Amino acid sequence: MALLNLKDILAPATRGNYAVGAFNVINTELLEAVVSAAERMQSPVILNIAEVHLAYVDIEVIAAAVIKRAHKACVPVTLNLDHGLKFETVAAAVRCGFTSVMFDGSHLSYEDNIAQTREITKLCHAVNVSVEAELGAVGGSEGGELMGTIDAAMYTDPALAEDFIQKTQIDALAVAIGNAHGRYRGEPKLDFERLDSIHKKSGIPLVLHGGSGISDEDFKKAIGLGIAKINFFTGMARAAIDTLHVAITKRDVDLKYNAYPDIMLQVQESVSRVVAGQMTIFGSCGKA
């Protein structure tokens, strides 16, 4: 199947009241885990490559692998730059064939976030690449400390959402409503009233970052209030680590020789199960 941009993969989700999962990949094991889950579940899927993860994988190599796998897939796939921080990284992603870019200007002033995001949308829209941006700041940081802090002062201001979207011309908006990257300290408390008013004012699909740890019920409620893309990675990483831990502490495994390929497959399968489970919760199964 051809790769879709974010706008085109999210439009049916908004109409059909479900969300498309965006799962981070940093190697071909995770790529296969995610795409094979999408194929089993007949679900559209977004593959995230985060700028912070470019310390572990070359953007040209992983993009080529994702594009090749997407063309072989029987489900719609979007290749998204996750938390693009530098203009150069966004440009590199566009050159490598990404169909979507998230520009994270959440650390900037409101005016600078608008100005830089607008520059990104001009570049990306000229080549049919979608743009997601963030208003307010999601707790923690992608690839940052394990448990991020949530600061209500950094939540998305519904009064600014309409102005921000109109001035930047973005295709999707990442919201900060009590969600956080990494693991949550205690139960996450999402501000649904705030989400509802952002939804009423925005008119574009909304994105929930920090999907690992949010309850099924809260996901469903958030989807009903305009969330159409959900970012999920910590839960995948935890499944991978747990599987590795069990595999290498088994006494009958010969760690000196040929155990690695089999352990790699076990990791892939466990991550794939977690991803398929999330797709079921997000309501995207059977929507491919």
In the complex, the residues that contact Zn ion under the rule CB under 5 A are 142, 209, 231
Find the helix or strand (DSSP H, E) in which 23 lies: strand 20-24
CB of residue 108 to Zn ion, shortest distance in Å: 16
Q: Which residue lies nearer to Zn ion by CB, 53 or 194?
A: 53
**Residue among 12, 16, 11, 10 nearest 224 (CA):** 16
Indicate if 82 belongs to the active site.
Answer: yes
CB of residue 263 to Zn ion, shortest distance in Å: 29
Q: Which segments of 17-86 does DSSP mark as H helices, in order? A: 28-41, 59-72
Q: Which residue lies nearer to Zn ion by CB, 194 or 209?
A: 209
CB of residue 28 to Zn ion, shortest distance in Å: 22
Compute the distance between CA of residue 221 and CA of residue 202 in angstroms, rounded to an integer.
Answer: 18
| Cα atoms in the Cβ-side hemisphere of radius 13 Å centred on 100 | 29
CB of residue 5 to Zn ion, shortest distance in Å: 19
Q: Give the other-Cβ count within 10 Å of 193's Cβ.
A: 11
Compute the distance between CA of residue 234 and CA of residue 142 in angstroms, rounded to an integer.
Answer: 10
**Residue among 87, 93, 51, 47 nearest 70 (CA):** 47
Q: Which residue lies nearer to Zn ion by CB, 76 or 84?
A: 84
Angle, CA of 44, 219 and 143, to the nearest 5°: 75
Q: Which residue lies nearer to Zn ion by CB, 230 or 239?
A: 230
Catalytic residue, chosen from 8, 58, 82, 242, is 82
Task: Please list the active-site residues.
Answer: 82
